[in-house]
Amino acid sequence: MPNNQEELIPIYLFLGFLESGKTRFIQETLEDKRFNNGEKTLVLICEEGIEEYDLSKMPKKNIVFHTIEDKEDFTEENFTKILRESGAERIVVEYNGMWTMDEFFGAMPEETTLAQVMFFVDATTFSNYNANMRSLVVDKLNVTEMTVFNRFDEKLDPQEFHKIVRGVSRRSEIVFEYTDGKVAYDDIEDPLPFDVEADEITIEDKDYALWYRDLMDEPEKYDGKVMHFKSIAAENSKFPANCFAVGRHIMTCCVEDIQYCWLVAQYEGSDRPKNQDWINVSGKIKVQKHKLYKGKGPVLFVTDIQHTEAPAQPVATFY
């Protein structure tokens, strides 16, 4: 088994629903000499679309194709077996859009690591998927580094697509591939509703979800900042004596995905809040290693706690 990061086998993961353009993009990528330079590659196909791969157009033929159509067969044991039998040095996955990312992460072999994640979307059908399968759309947007809207028409409004992506992720790049062949990168400014440059920042109740996502995406941005916000305190027997959690419940798309989104609070005072207390909390954020993060993360060094009532909308959203 690999024993360090450098030995892990990279996975290039391509997400999208049926007929979203994944196969075409992977085919073009494997036709590119800069990518396909001879490394043995496993192409794992998790759904059968209309398009098929054409090995004859690829500059190097050191490629193994394998298909898993049934979700029950997409297991860590099976994935690992396929990988080891292929002898591949890297993996390209065309993932089934109806399968969740948790299912993918649960099946990743020990010796692999994600190198790149891209989400392909047919712009002409996206609104239907977003309306009827919102949880699956959010599931993909949460992890992707780049969202590509292909078959984009001049009549479509990029702002509407931008809003949907940014409602879930500020991290993902957004690309529009127009029907005439033009490619445009989303450069729509999306400023935060508070001054992130200020030394002291107050987060309004309606902005908690946006702030929390930004904090977790780019914690260093808040290192040394004094923060004021309303939250729910949470206790756990595994927490150190001087620590508790501060956070809010956030809904990304629907009631089923509501979860408590928190950060570590460190407090030396005696008036420590009880579990589930609503509080107005103030303190300075320091990004540092902490056992509750299993690595680095934002730790709020609390200077003031005031007990309060729940806001009019207790569950925070991005809208």
Print pLDDT tens along the chain (319 aa). Answer: 444 445 899 999 999 998 899 999 999 999 999 999 999 999 999 987 778 899 999 999 999 999 999 999 999 999 999 999 999 999 999 999 999 999 999 999 999 999 999 999 999 999 999 999 999 999 999 999 999 999 999 999 999 999 899 888 878 999 999 999 999 999 988 788 899 999 999 999 999 999 998 999 899 999 999 999 999 999 988 888 899 999 999 987 666 678 999 999 999 988 899 999 999 999 999 999 998 898 899 999 999 999 999 998 899 987 6
Whether residues 100 and 26 share a domain: the answer is yes
Whether residues 140 and 179 share a domain: the answer is yes
Whether residues 144 and 238 share a domain: the answer is no
Whether residues 151 and 91 share a domain: the answer is yes
Domain end among 154, 185, 216: 185
Tell me, yes or no, whether 192 lies in a domain.
no
Separation between Cα atoms, residue 108 and residue 101, nearest integer Å: 11
How many structural domains are present in the chain?
A: 2
What predicted TM-score, i.e. pTM, was given to this entire model? Answer: 0.67
Whether residues 134 and 15 share a domain: the answer is yes
Whether residues 29 and 173 share a domain: the answer is yes
Separation between Cα atoms, residue 134 and residue 256, nearest integer Å: 11
Whether residues 224 and 173 share a domain: the answer is no
Tell me, yes or no, whether 191 lies in a domain.
no
CATH number at residue 302: 2.40.50.140
User: pLDDT at position 169, please?
Assistant: 85
DSSP the chain: ---SGGGSEEEEEEEE-TTSSHHHHHHHHHH-TTT-SS--EEEEE-S--S----GGGSS---EEEEE---GGG--HHHHHHHHHHHT-SEEEEE--TTS-HHHHHHH--TTEEEEEEEEEEETTTHHHHHHHSHHHHHHHHTT-SEEEEEEE-TTS-HHHHHHHHHTT-SS-EEEEEETTS-EEE-------SS-TTSSEEE--GGGHHHHHHHHHH-GGGGTT-EEEEEEEEE--TTS-TTEEEEEEEE-SSSGGG-EEEEEEEE---S-PPPTT-EEEEEEEEEEEEETTTTEEEEEEEEEEEEE-PPPSS-SB---
- CB neighbours (10 Å) of residue 169? 22
Whether residues 64 and 209 share a domain: the answer is no
Do 20 and 140 form a contact (C-beta atoms < 8 A)?
A: no
The token duo for 252 is: 């990304």
User: pLDDT at position 87, please?
Assistant: 96
Tell me, yes or no, whether 75 lies in a domain.
yes
User: pLDDT at position 3, please?
Assistant: 43
Tell me, yes or no, whether 209 lies in a domain.
yes
Domain end among 185, 216, 238: 185
Whether residues 159 and 279 share a domain: the answer is no
Do 34 and 137 form a contact (C-beta atoms < 8 A)?
A: no
User: pLDDT at position 254, please?
Assistant: 64
Q: What is the phi/psi pair of residue 44, to 5°? A: -100, 115
Q: Range of 32's domain? A: 5-185
Tell me, yes or no, whether 194 lies in a domain.
no
Whether residues 151 and 23 share a domain: the answer is yes
Tell me, yes or no, whether 181 lies in a domain.
yes
Q: Are strands 226-234 and 278-290 parallel, antiparallel or unpaired?
A: antiparallel
Domain end among 185, 215, 240: 185
CATH number at residue 170: 3.40.50.300
Whether residues 104 and 223 share a domain: the answer is no
Instruction: HSE, CB side, 13 Å, CA atoms: give it for residue 139.
Output: 21
